[in-house]
Amino acid sequence: MATLRHSFIAGVGHYVPSRVVKNAELEPMMNTSDAWIQERTGIKERRWFEEGTDTTANMGANAARKALEMAGVEANDVQLIVFATLSPDYFFPGSGVLMQRELGMTNNCPALDVRNQCSGFVYALSVADQFIRTGMYDTVLVVGSEIHSSGLDKSPEGRGVAVIFGDGAGAMVLRPSTSDNQLIMSTHLHAQGEFAEELIVKEPSSNRNNRVEYIVANQAELYPYMNGQNVFKHAVVRFPQVIKEALDQNGMQASDIDMLIPHQANLRITQYVQQKMGLSDDKVFSNIQRYGNTTAASVPLAFSEAVQEGKIKRGDLVCLAAFGSGFTWASALLKF
């Protein structure tokens, strides 16, 4: 029987649009305040894309170039692209093939898109890891990229959701591991579809005979809806569960973690999980204060920043965890 091999993260990178949107800019349009936003979310500012400059695919490409450089591989060395996003450039085709074109890749490697929202990147990482474990591919590019700002209700009615989200991208290059100190140890994926409508963008839906006419008459359903209390209630349970699942499978304790990179959903959720897991401030990385919730981009963006800032070093034990729409939740335990 063939022995499965491990993958490791050979390179990371991130990109955010240049436009910084502070809470003060949202105050007049949403009848809100900097204090209200910070108290409920921890967010001070976020990035919004520039039309004509940023796209979901090219933001992903910008992050990917940095990850490829760190990994020491060329774009045409990539054998598979896994692209996580809920905000694709087109209804179809997916953004993975658009990023392939943006990177100038000519090797015809496969590209697939993952639509798992806030858990999307950890799901995508798990998919990439399986392809390397089985020996099918040696170099996989995993990307999370999102443009939320163009699809938010920026009115007082929509402020409860609109203040949370920002735009950005992050990327990782996975390669086969040759060291016990650099490997993805395990990934863990879950879903509970009974809560699908608790965090949802309902339209455009294919389940209508005249979907275009319906959208024209019901434009509010193009905006995200979130039952914030229920999402919070489930998130603070599922985050610790899926982190503990990863630790238990690998015979480790929370005290062994060098850095936890949670999905940047809400600073209050992160702080609750940190307390529940008994982790000190230097073992949990948060950048939601600067970028807001970037959904599938948040985990790789935070990971890349933590590496850039020297807060994650080679050999460190890192746990990634996410929870979001679906409901879906996931974790990965790895040695960087």
pLDDT of 37-94, one tens digit each? 999 999 999 999 999 999 999 999 999 999 999 999 999 999 999 999 999 999 999 9
pTM of the model as a whole: 0.97
* Owner of token pair 């993975």: 96
Rounded CA-CA distance 326/255 in Å is 30
Q: What are the structure tokens assigned to 204, written together? A: 């455009």
Rounded CA-CA distance 75/68 in Å is 7
Q: 3-state class of 206 per DSSP?
A: coil
pLDDT digits (tens, 9 = 90+) for 319-328: 999 999 999 9
CA 207 to chain CA mean position, Å: 28
Residue positions counted in the chain: 336
Predicted pLDDT of residue 38: 98
Predicted pLDDT of residue 2: 57
Please report how many Cα atoms fall inside a 13 Å half-sphere around the Cα of residue 43, on the Cβ side.
30
Helices 34-41 and 267-277, interaxial angle, to 10°? Answer: 30
DSSP string spanning 209-248? TTHHHHHHH-GGGGS-EE-HHHHHHHHHHHHHHHHHHHHH
Confidence band of 194 (pLDDT split at 50, 70, 90): very high
Burial-class residue 1 by CB neighbours within 10 Å (0-12, 13-18, 19+): exposed
pLDDT digits (tens, 9 = 90+) for 82-122: 999 999 999 999 999 999 999 999 999 999 999 999 999 99
Rounded CA-CA distance 51/63 in Å is 18
How many of the other CB atoms lie within 10 Å of CB of 313?
A: 11
Known catalytic residues?
Answer: 118, 263, 293
DSSP string spanning 120-172? HHHHHHHHHHHHHHTTS-S-EEEEEEE--GGGS--SGGGHHHHTTB--EEEEE
Is the separation of the CB atoms in 38 and 44 below 8 Å?
A: yes
Q: What is the mean pLDDT of the chain?
A: 97
Rounded CA-CA distance 190/53 in Å is 36
Is the separation of the CB atoms in 81 and 99 below 8 Å?
A: yes
Predicted pLDDT of residue 107: 98
Mention every residue, 6+ apart, whose C-beta is less than 8 A from residue 28. Answer: none
Is the separation of the CB atoms in 32 and 159 below 8 Å?
A: yes
CA 44, 232, 172, 331 dihedral sign is: positive
Rounded CA-CA distance 190/284 in Å is 22
Rounded CA-CA distance 312/131 in Å is 25
